[in-house]
Structure formats: structure tokens, C-alpha cells
């Protein structure tokens, strides 16, 4: 198979797209952002060590709600 043929290019493109889609599907479980109910800080749960990893970002709606209900 010649590397300049169109079949080779199509096979490479299909392989790269399938690898990319597989990576996106496997990483989607690790990127669920959650909100700490006490501090309104966003965090993700690391699946490997099963621990929270805080992102140093705060949810504005949560902070507004906490300010309305002291």
C-alpha cells in the first residue's frame, strides 16, 4: 500500500478519529464537576485514588443562595 494513496489516508483518519473518540469517552467519567455544599467550591473526584480534587473555583449560584439564606 502506497502512503500517497487515498485509501491509506482514509484508514489513518478513521484510526485517529476512533482513538480520539475512545479517549473522550473514557475521560468523560473523570470530569464530572461537583459542588461542595458547605463551601460552594467546585471539585472533581479522582477515580484512581477515590479522593476529591478541589479546583479553586466557586459556583456563583450556590454562593448567592447561601448569602440569601444565612
pLDDT grade for 9, boundaries at 50, 70 and 90: confident
Q: What is the pLDDT of residue 32?
A: 65
pLDDT grade for 11, boundaries at 50, 70 and 90: very high
Q: How many residues does the chain have?
A: 70
Residue appearing with cell numbers 475512545: 22
Q: Can you give the residue ranges of every domain in the chain?
A: 6-68
**pLDDT at 7 exceeding the cut of 70:** yes
Q: What is the DSSP letter of 31?
A: G
- Phi first, then psi: give them for residue 37, nearest 5 degrees: -70, -25
List pLDDT tens digits, range 48-59. Answer: 787 888 888 888
Amino acid at each position: 500500500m502506497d502512503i500517497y494513496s487515498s485509501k491509506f489516508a482514509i484508514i489513518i483518519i478513521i484510526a485517529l478519529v476512533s482513538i480520539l473518540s475512545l479517549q473522550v469517552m473514557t475521560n468523560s467519567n473523570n470530569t464530572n464537576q461537583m459542588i461542595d455544599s458547605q463551601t460552594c467550591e467546585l471539585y472533581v473526584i479522582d477515580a484512581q485514588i477515590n479522593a476529591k480534587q478541589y479546583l479553586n473555583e466557586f459556583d456563583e449560584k450556590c454562593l448567592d443562595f447561601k448569602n440569601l439564606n444565612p
